[in-house]
Structure 1
Amino acid sequence: MASKEEKRRRAALVQAIVAEDTKKAIEEMPISLVHLGQLFDHLDEQVENGCDHTPRITTAFLTSNNLSHDSILPWLQEQGGFCDCEILANVEEIWESEISKNT
């Protein structure tokens, strides 16, 4: 059985690995955390009126902010966001803590 000190050391190693993986994921994102947070805020306001199960509102946001649809929409889909309400529910859940830490 590992000592308390060994358990703390292992936990610190895991934490460092997770932090490095998160940092790398943020660097590879096709959208900044600031813009992603703004997208979530915008969707929060707009999806109140319902979702037509397309990324229509997201696409309009990307256009109005001169952001690339070609790289961001596929990335959002990889994160579980295929329409506006899924982007708000699934993608925000994944990234909300990083957004609040970094903005």
Structure 2
Amino acid sequence: MTSKEEKKRRAALVEAIVAEDTRKAIDDMPISLSNLGKLFDYLDVKLEEGCDHTPKITTDFLASINLSSEKILPWLQDQGGYCDCEILANVEEGWESEITKNT
């Protein structure tokens, strides 16, 4: 049977691995957490008018802050965001806690 100390040690190791994986994922992002949070806020307002199932609002936002949609849109798609409403729903869900922690 595993001791309490061993369980704590294993839990700490898993936590450290997850933290390192998260740090690496953040380092590899083509957009900062701050700008990603601003994108989500922007989409939240603009999508009150509806989604045309394209990333047009996202592309316009990225252009307005001089970021490359050619680099960022494929990353957003890898996160499950193919159009503006999916970016807000799927990508925000995956990154919301990191944005809250880091901004």
Q: Per the shorter chain, which TM-score range?
A: over 0.9
Q: Distance in 1 between matches of 2:94 and 2:7?
A: 27
Indicate the residue corresponding to 2:76 in structure 1: 76
| CA offsets 1:68-101 (integer angstroms, 9 cap, x no match) | 1111000000000000000000000000000010
| CA offsets 1:18-47 (integer angstroms, 9 cap, x no match) | 000000000000000000000000000011
Equivalent positions of 1:9-20 (< 5 A) are 9-20=9-20
Shift of 1:48: 1.2
Equivalent positions of 1:20-59 (< 5 A) are 20-59=20-59
Structure 1, unpaired ranges of 5+: none
The alignment's TM-score, normalised by the length of structure 2, stands at 0.98
Report the AA paired with residue 93 of structure 1.
Answer: E
Q: Distance in 1 between matches of 2:101 and 2:38?
A: 15
Q: Distance in 1 between matches of 2:5 and 2:25?
A: 30
Structure 2, unpaired ranges of 5+: none
Indicate the residue corresponding to 1:88 in structure 2: 88
Residue 76 of structure 1: SS of its match in structure 2? helix
The alignment's TM-score, normalised by the length of structure 1, stands at 0.98
Query: Percent identity between the aligned chains?
Result: 76
Q: Distance in 2 between matches of 1:3 and 1:50?
A: 55
Measured on the aligned residues, the alpha-carbon RMSD in Å equals 0.5
